[in-house]
Amino acid sequence: MSEETNEVIENNVNVDDFEKAKKSFNDDEYSQDEFITLAKLYLDSFKNVKEGELVKAKIVQIQGDNVILDVGFKSEGSISKNEFENKEEIKVGDEVEVVLESVEDKDGNLVLSKQRADFLRIWEKVMHSYETKEVLQGTILKRIKGGMVVDLMGMEAFLPGSQIDIRPIRDFDAFVGQTMDFVVVKVNIPTENVVVSHKVLVEEEMSGQKDVILNSLEKGQILEGVVKAITDFGVFVDLGGVDGLVHITDLSWGRINHPSEVVKLDEAIKVVVTDFDEEKKRISLSLKKLLPHPWENIEERFKIGDKVSGRVVSLTDYGAFIEIDKGIEGLIHNSEMSWTQHIKHPSQMVSMGQIIDAVILSLDKDEKKISLGIKQLEPDPWQSLMEKYPVNSHHVGIARNLTNFGVFVELEPGVDGLVHISDLSWTKKVRHPGEIIKKGEQLEVIVLDVDVESRKISLGHKQIHENPWDKFEETYKAGFETKGKVVRIIDKGLIVELPDEVDGFVPSSHLSPSKIKNVANHFPLEETLPMKVIEFDKENKKIVLSVLNSIKEKSEEEIQEYLNNHKLDRVSVQAIKNSETSTVAPSDFHVFGTKEKTKEKVKAEVTNKKEAMEEHKVEAPTVEELKEDSKDENSVEEETKEEEKK
């Protein structure tokens, strides 16, 4: 039968169709009635099948790797044997379900698929499970980004990593090949993607157990759990459906930098409940409280004088804390780090994490405090300083620090001594050590005193020479005529340098018979003046002089020249000649030399000395020096009261 005949027959068969079809066959071949009857029978043999539908097909033939199927259509279709699970069970005459993917391909053949038919049957079950929350069983095939691929009754489903278990997963590869129960949690119909979860089933199973645990929780209760997660601030422990937190401070009696130093992930541990917030469902746990307290029986393990070893766990401005045992820390104060050096910060001697040796100096069990020292590991060099630096021995040191009250001289590295300002010169009234010595310069000294207990060395510079005041006593007697050069001007007079390089004091009342408001305006520095000694004090090392006593014995021309040179216009020659110089007021003596101080200045100097004592612990001023300052302060106070009375 030709293609034209087939095209006609496929429509409703009638007489017109017969007339058209006669052209394709002989007149004596079929009558009109026979043609119509046969045509209807032919049309009835076809099923009304649409593309994409699931249909039943009969195996009619097996040709090599292909299976020929009859789906009741005008032509037969074929599929590959690979679409069958069991190729050996394929038999002619068996019925199978397939999907008609296309009525005809480019060759005019039906396109069938058994795999698609199998998928649609599985899809129906998946959709039913999704709607009814039915549990399905599947096998994990492989690991992919973000989760796993699951074989669910022959189709692939996605299992997110977060949906495998309630506990974090450490090794995803360990689940490959395992058969587990799943619940379909998401279905994407257009893309035919399925997402499953095993965690949901675990949570349902644990929900009852969680309620039991929460209802029975009590402080002090000991529970077993598994380390679920480790963070910088602590450890989360799974107690069987409910999580608790062990803070980092509750993991160990000793200091730790990170919880991973104590526990590992998935490790089974015992913990004690320390607190429970019913409203927020927060459980606080402790691991260290199940361990003995480290301070129990500490006196049996550690004794004063014992040498111990430990790790530096903390540095502060005042010292370093050393962990000598888990939960037991001792403090090494800065002052216990070196016999000779002044340690301002412990980092000069130790560093974080360093293992060091120390000696136990004190132990207070009640206060849980231990004092340690590292300088005690070595002999105290101060015990031998008396032999090395005996009193009156001469040495050369380096000026390391200058203060208002003296200079600190380094005799050897770590050993300093103090030269008080009063011990710098026999003859000069030194206001600051910088007038004699500069920082870093060498200075010849003599040892005056060594105080091992207070760790102080008192030094002197002027003592390297003989005391010249015995000689001065014979030279500078009252009435002795001499000359002096102005080296310093103060409110109450002049400081002058005498021929023997010794300083003397000329009160302003001995410069002019009338009061001079500003001495500096009349008497310049470096000027040399004639003068007479009016007072010599060997004990206090003072020489007081008078210009008037000397000048009034000169000629009138010399007196007038003196008045003109010093702009004393209101003073006459006769006034000079008739002048009667008064005795020097007691207050003038204190302005002279080192005792040129007010009460406030004395207090400030004492404060400076105390600060220097802290900075240079081994060379602070002696007790006698501090007493001398106190005398100065008291004397100034008495002078002030006396002047107020006047």
Could you tell me the CATH number of the domain that includes residue 229? Answer: 2.40.50.140
Q: Which helix (H) or strand (E) holds 551?
A: helix 548-551
Amino acid code (one letter) for 419: V
**For residue 28, what pLDDT is reported?**
61
First to last CA, the chain: 157
Pick 539 or 70 by higher pLDDT. 539
358 and 312 inside one domain: yes
Highest mean pLDDT among 13-27, 206-220, 224-238: 224-238
**Strands 369-373 and 328-333, bridge-based pairing:** parallel
User: Is residue 422 a part of any domain in this protein?
Assistant: no
Residue 630 has pLDDT above 60, yes or no: no
Residue 250 has pLDDT above 90, yes or no: no
The tens digit of pLDDT for each residue in 185-195 reads: 888 878 888 89
Q: In this structure, are residues 370 and 330 in contact, taking their beta carbons and an 8 Å threshold?
A: yes
Cα 19 to chain centroid, rounded: 104
Residue 622 has pLDDT above 60, yes or no: no
Q: For residues 271 and 321, what is the distance between their CA atoms, to the nearest angstrom?
A: 29
**Strands 268-277 and 243-247, bridge-based pairing:** unpaired
The tens digit of pLDDT for each residue in 73-124 reads: 666 677 777 777 776 667 777 777 776 666 666 565 677 767 677 777 778 7
The whole-number average pLDDT for the span 626-646 is 41
- Least confidently predicted of 29-43, 212-226, 377-391: 29-43
User: Is residue 572 a part of any domain in this protein?
Assistant: yes
User: Is residue 182 a part of any domain in this protein?
Assistant: no
587 and 616 inside one domain: no
39 and 62 inside one domain: no
**For residue 468, what pLDDT is reported?**
85
Pick 587 or 475 by higher pLDDT. 475
User: Is residue 150 a part of any domain in this protein?
Assistant: no
Q: For residues 492 and 544, what is the distance between their CA atoms, to the nearest angstrom?
A: 12
The tens digit of pLDDT for each residue in 401-430 reads: 899 989 999 888 778 899 999 888 887 878
Residue 371 has pLDDT above 90, yes or no: yes
With CA atoms as reference, report the closest residue to 109 among 68, 149, 144, 54: 68
With CA atoms as reference, report the closest residue to 235 among 255, 223, 249, 218: 249
3-state SS, residue 563: helix
331 and 223 inside one domain: no
User: Is residue 388 a part of any domain in this protein?
Assistant: no
**For residue 322, what pLDDT is reported?**
92
Residue 646 has pLDDT above 50, yes or no: no
Pick 284 or 608 by higher pLDDT. 284
589 and 604 inside one domain: no
Q: For residues 237 and 229, what is the distance between their CA atoms, to the nearest angstrom?
A: 7
Helix 599-615 crosses helix 623-645 at what angle (to 10 degrees)? Answer: 170
Q: For residues 460 and 438, what is the distance between their CA atoms, to the nearest angstrom?
A: 16
Amino acid code (one letter) for 60: V
519 and 587 inside one domain: yes
612 and 558 inside one domain: no
Q: What is the DSSP code (8-state) at residue 328?
A: E
87 and 11 inside one domain: no
Domain count, the chain: 6
Q: For residues 399 and 389, what is the distance between their CA atoms, to the nearest angstrom?
A: 17
The whole-number average pLDDT for the span 302-327 is 90
Cα 472 to chain centroid, rounded: 67
- Least confidently predicted of 16-25, 73-82, 152-161: 16-25
**For residue 436, what pLDDT is reported?**
85
Tell me what the pLDDT averaged over the chain comes to. 78
Q: For residues 194 and 604, what is the distance between their CA atoms, to the nearest angstrom?
A: 87
Q: For residues 249 and 241, what is the distance between their CA atoms, to the nearest angstrom?
A: 24
Q: What is the DSSP code (8-state) at residue 585?
A: P
Pick 74 or 522 by higher pLDDT. 522
Q: In this structure, are residues 216 and 276 in contact, taking their beta carbons and an 8 Å threshold?
A: no
- The residue out of 357, 377, 397 marking a domain boundary is 377
3-state SS, residue 47: coil
Residue 507 has pLDDT above 90, yes or no: yes
Q: In this structure, are residues 434 and 402 in contact, taking their beta carbons and an 8 Å threshold?
A: yes
User: Is residue 567 a part of any domain in this protein?
Assistant: yes
**For residue 546, what pLDDT is reported?**
92
Pick 627 or 103 by higher pLDDT. 103
226 and 275 inside one domain: yes
**For residue 600, what pLDDT is reported?**
44
39 and 114 inside one domain: no
Q: For residues 65 and 376, what is the distance between their CA atoms, to the nearest angstrom?
A: 95
- The residue out of 344, 377, 410 marking a domain boundary is 377
SS3 content of the chain, % helix, strand, coil (to 5): 30, 35, 35
3-state SS, residue 637: helix
Band of pLDDT at residue 10, cut at 50, 70 and 90? very low
Band of pLDDT at residue 333, cut at 50, 70 and 90? very high
**For residue 613, what pLDDT is reported?**
46
Cβ neighbours for 4, distance < 8 A, ≥ 6 positions apart: 20, 21, 23, 24
Cβ neighbours for 284, distance < 8 A, ≥ 6 positions apart: 244, 245, 247, 250, 273, 274, 275, 276
Q: In this structure, are residues 626 and 411 in contact, taking their beta carbons and an 8 Å threshold?
A: no
With CA atoms as reference, report the closest residue to 129 among 187, 198, 192: 187
The tens digit of pLDDT for each residue in 350-369 reads: 999 899 999 999 998 888 89
304 and 247 inside one domain: no
Looking up tokens 């089974």 gives 268
User: Is residue 365 a part of any domain in this protein?
Assistant: yes
Q: For residues 310 and 302, what is the distance between their CA atoms, to the nearest angstrom?
A: 13
3-state SS, residue 299: helix
The tens digit of pLDDT for each residue in 24-61 reads: 666 666 666 766 676 666 555 445 555 666 677 777 77
**For residue 42, what pLDDT is reported?**
56
Q: Which helix (H) or strand (E) holds 358?
A: strand 355-364
Compute how many other C-beta atoms are within 10 angstroms of the C-beta atom of residue 635: 18
Q: For residues 151 and 130, what is the distance between their CA atoms, to the nearest angstrom?
A: 16
Classify residue 376 by burial, with Cβ atoms within 10 Å: 0-12, 13-18, 19+.
Answer: middle
240 and 304 inside one domain: no
With a pLDDT cut of 70, the percent of the chain lying above it is 76
**Strands 147-152 and 179-188, bridge-based pairing:** unpaired
User: Is residue 451 a part of any domain in this protein?
Assistant: no
Q: In this structure, are residues 313 and 323 in contact, taking their beta carbons and an 8 Å threshold?
A: yes
**For residue 163, what pLDDT is reported?**
86
- The residue out of 250, 265, 290 marking a domain boundary is 290
The whole-number average pLDDT for the span 312-338 is 90
The beta strand positions in 43-154, using DSSP E, are 54-63, 66-70, 77-80, 95-102, 110-113, 136-144, 147-152
Q: In this structure, are residues 293 and 327 in contact, taking their beta carbons and an 8 Å threshold?
A: yes
pTM of the model: 0.43
Band of pLDDT at residue 610, cut at 50, 70 and 90? very low
Q: For residues 640 and 587, what is the distance between their CA atoms, to the nearest angstrom?
A: 9
Q: For residues 250 and 262, what is the distance between their CA atoms, to the nearest angstrom?
A: 11
With a pLDDT cut of 90, the percent of the chain lying above it is 17
Pick 582 or 120 by higher pLDDT. 120
362: left (phi over 0), alpha (psi -120 to 50) or beta: beta
The whole-number average pLDDT for the span 625-633 is 42
The tens digit of pLDDT for each residue in 553-572 reads: 888 888 888 888 888 888 88
Range of the domain at 21: 3-44
Band of pLDDT at residue 626, cut at 50, 70 and 90? very low
